[in-house]
Amino acid sequence: MASQPNTRPKIRTRLTDLLGIEHPILCGGLMHLADANYVAAVVNAGTMGFISALTFPDPKQLQDEIQKCRDLSGGKSFGVNLYISPRQDANDRLEKLLTVVRDENVAVVETAGGNPGPIIPFMKEAGIKVIHKVPAVRFALSAERAGVDAISLVGAECGGHPGYMMVGSMVQAADGPQKLSVPVILGGGIGHGSQLTAALAMGCDGILMGTRMLVSSELQAHKDYKQRVAEGTGLDSIVVQSKLKNHHRVLDNQTAQAVLALENQGKETYEDYTHLLNGKLAKEAYTSGNTDQGLLDYGQSACFANAIESVETIITQFMDEAFTAKGRILKLDF
Ligand SMILES: Cc1cc2nc3c(=O)[nH]c(=O)nc-3n(C[C@H](O)[C@H](O)[C@H](O)COP(=O)(O)O)c2cc1C
């Protein structure tokens, strides 16, 4: 059935202008999951998505994935997510991946993890826009000085890495725009359109989602995994690895409980946990649908993800909710 033309007015912000997108929405990088199919679906729905470079660690694989995404997204811009490890020795492959990103004319890069400063000149020279993702305004200020084009600020509710300071999204939303001059995108616990309206009211230029999108039909993951997310309440999201000062918000499952048990025993070195932190466990869970194993990034906004649906359906509903929230505010007449 042909979809109905969208008659809603557009929300224009510095973010939509910066990236040339219809909605002020980013769908963040998802390790093992954000591939060409998913990212193309996301950009075709009028938002911005990012292929997770580390999912395709061989530069040729990344190049193929970028080319596939270009074919699927009909010339629309899309992005690549680059995780910068705080450990310099873990960043050996970054340079080669970055070269592919430049040679393939990728429009925008979402950086996360360590300081993007050293690679900013390379990206600026290539005309790539850089959005750096941080868990606290303090890190955003140094990224802004280093020349990033925008900042994604994620709160403690987020799936993945909320940072050891665990600042909530409501605080980030009001604090970030006051202290930063580049566009600010709010993430962490976002999954309902009313939160976009609230974020804009607080001075943000857009929002970022990860967990809410895990039920997308275009995501290449086992249907049992998506069904588990759809049945999740968000209360089944817990933070592990705080003893390692690497706070990680994940689905509460056997692996997460095993990590917590070691933390309760006072284990404080990375080596004590290596067998549980292995990313292969998560990759297997996405493929097999067995969600008992692996640290599976998963945030509190799972409460909004209640059915497996297309990206287009999720985004359309989200924007409807944003406009409904705007209507509620206007009726208050203040
Ligand atoms: C399954 C999953 C995998 C993720 N993988 C990455 C990643 O590889 N790189 C990254 O920068 N962020 C990653 N994130 C974080 C998201 O890009 C986004 O910042 C976060 O999910 C936003 O918070 P929310 O989950 O509350 O929406 C991941 C999140 C999830 C849920």
Q: Under CATH, which number does the domain 16-220 receive?
A: 3.20.20.70
Our mutation pick for probing the ligand 1 site, out of 297, 298, 301, counting the most ligand atoms within 8 A of Cβ, is: 297
Domain ranges, ordered by start, for the chain: 16-220, 237-297
Give the Å distances, CA to CA, from 177 to 139, 154, 184, 205: 14, 13, 6, 9
At 1, is the pLDDT very low, low, confident or very high (cuts 50, 70, 90)? very low
Q: What is the pLDDT of residue 119?
A: 94
The total number of residues shown for the chain amounts to: 334
Ligand 1 in reach of 177 Cβ (< 6 A): no
pLDDT tens for each residue of 284-306: 999 999 999 999 999 999 999 99
Our mutation pick for probing the ligand 1 site, out of 56, 111, 151, 158, counting the most ligand atoms within 8 A of Cβ, is: 158
For residue 222, pLDDT beyond 50 = yes
How big, in percent rounded to 5, are the helix, strand and coil portions of the chain? Answer: 45, 15, 40
Ligand 1 in reach of 31 Cβ (< 6 A): yes
Q: What is the pLDDT of residue 131?
A: 98
